[in-house]
Homo-oligomer: A and B are copies of this chain.
Amino acid sequence: MEKTYIFGHKNPDTDSITSSLVMANLETKLGRNVESCALGTPNKETEYVLNYLGIEAPRVLGENEVPDGSNVILVDHNNPEETISNIDKVNVLKVVDHHCLKLSTSYPLYYRAEPVGCTETVMYKLYKENGVEIDKKNATLMLSAIISDTLLFKSPTCTPEDVEIAKELSKIAGIDCESYGLEMLKAGTDLSSFTIDEILSLDAKQVSLKDVKTVINQVNTASIPDVMELKEKLEAGMTEQIESKGLDLFMLLITDIVNSNSQVIALGKRADLVEKSYGVKLENNTALLKGVVSRKKQVIPVMTENA
């Protein structure tokens, strides 16, 4: 049986890495030949999770490492801009996701997306539907991703189903959500070892807001002023990317995971879009977006509407 590659999106977050591992476990249990892979190395938050469990990160797939014609399963994404470059030349067997629809295919496939906070919430249901037991390791992986994506249940993307399933998972994992979750989220805010360029690509998504070519980068922190100390250097790096990628807008969201606000730095000829979308005035390219923590729910749709 030919091997199927399972992977999440580029610049993988905790949901992408853990969903790849958890999906691979499910498929293996169901007798299929799969490999858990990733389109990048784990971030510090995900490293915290993998270290906690003492397990290895999925193998990172290099450019063009998935041959044309291969079978693949996508988790936590479906957008062609966020996946392997030859996505239109492979056979997508399945998608398990919680994002908007962007993929187009000429063949039917298994597609399972739900408007919940985290792919792992859907994955939990797949285990139940297939009658596959969720062990402590997989429960910890799922729970970590739900905490990550919902910022400990405080993001507007969080649904009652995410909370309920997280509660179930915390019992299996023997984990206290609050203390474990805060430690995990804080691990992800440590920027000390990164260069400016690395910070700017940690969780960057390139999206088209109608015809406005945009990169939206999000950095979690427990202290906005700490990150703002790097403002000038960050702006220089953003300007470089705007030029090299021909962007209309680069938004850096510095998200305070404790108080649930984001400081935005916006550069590019369409920075006015931020002002228009949130009714704020950018001063020195920056403004506080009160209550904004979710790129998916509070940034992309709002900005698209105003573009």
Q: How far is the CA of A101 from the CA of B105 in the complex (A)?
A: 5
Chain B residues with Cβ below 8 Å from A108 are: 98-100, 113-115, 296
C-beta contact mask, A98-129 vs B, less than 8 Å → 1, else 0?
A: 11111111111111111100000000010001
A104 touches B104 (CB 8 A): yes
The verdict on A304 contacting chain B, using a C-beta distance below 8 Å, is yes
- Given contacts A101-B101, A129-B129, is CB(A114)–CB(B110) below 8 Å? yes
Report which of B101, B106, B107 forms a contact with A104, defined as CB distance below 8 A: B101
B115 touches A110 (CB 8 A): yes
Q: How large is the interface on A (under 10, 10 to 19, 20 to 34, 35 or more residues)?
A: 20 to 34
The verdict on A246 contacting chain B, using a C-beta distance below 8 Å, is no
- Nearest CB on B from A33, distance (A): 18
Report which of B113, B301, B304 forms a contact with A109, defined as CB distance below 8 A: B113
C-beta contact mask, A276-307 vs B, less than 8 Å → 1, else 0?
A: 00000000000000000000100011001000
Chain B residues with Cβ below 8 Å from A111 are: 101, 111-114
Q: How many copies does the complex hold?
A: 2
Q: How far is the CA of A98 from the CA of B99 in the complex (A)?
A: 19
Report which of B103, B109, B296 forms a contact with A115, defined as CB distance below 8 A: B109
- Nearest CB on B from A92, distance (A): 9
Chain B residues with Cβ below 8 Å from A110 are: 113-115
Chain B residues with Cβ below 8 Å from A125 are: 129
B99 touches A101 (CB 8 A): no
Q: How far is the CA of A304 from the CA of B104 in the complex (A)?
A: 14
B296 touches A106 (CB 8 A): no
- Nearest CB on B from A98, distance (A): 6
Q: How far is the CA of A115 from the CA of B111 in the complex (A)?
A: 9
- Nearest CB on B from A45, distance (A): 22
Q: How far is the CA of A19 from the CA of B144 in the complex (A)?
A: 37
Chain B residues with Cβ below 8 Å from A115 are: 107-110
A301 touches B106 (CB 8 A): yes
Q: How far is the CA of A112 from the CA of B114 in the complex (A)?
A: 8
Chain B residues with Cβ below 8 Å from A106 are: 100, 300-301, 304
Listed in ascending order, the chain A residues whose CB lies under 8 Å from chain B are: 98-115, 125, 129, 296, 300-301, 304
Other A-B pairs, 16, CB within 8 Å; known A101-B101, A107-B115, A111-B111: A98-B108, A100-B107, A100-B109, A101-B105, A101-B109, A106-B300, A106-B301, A108-B115, A108-B296, A109-B113, A110-B113, A110-B114, A111-B114, A112-B112, A125-B129, A129-B129
13 contacts between A and B (CB under 8 A): A101-B105, A101-B109, A102-B104, A104-B104, A106-B304, A107-B301, A108-B115, A108-B296, A110-B114, A111-B113, A111-B114, A125-B129, A129-B129
